Structure 1
Amino acid sequence: MATLRELPYIPLEVGENFIDQLSGHVDSLRSCALVCRGWNRHARQHLMVAIRVQSREDLCSIHEYFASNPRMASLVRSLCMASPLGGEKHRCLLEVLPVYLVKRLPNLQRYSIGRWTYFTAHTGSDQVSFHATALMHIKTYLHVEELHLEALRFRTSAELARVLIALPRLRRLQCRDLEADNLTADTSRFRNKCNMLSELTVVCTLQAIVVAR
Structure 2
Amino acid sequence: MSIASVEQVAAAVREVLRDLDRGRASRPRVGVSRQDVFAERLLSLRQAEGFAANRHEIRIAPGTVVTPLARDFLKRQGISLKVVSRSEVERVRDPGEWGLAIESDSGLISAFRRSLLDGAHPWHEVEGSAEAAADWVIDSPGRGVVLLTDQASVAVWLGCRVPGVRAAQVGDVDSVDRAIRWLGVNLLVVEPAGKSISLLKQMSLVFQRAGAPRTVEGLEGRV
Q: Normalising by the residue count of structure 1, what TM-score does the alignment of the two structures yield?
A: 0.28
- Which structure would you say has the larger Rg? 2
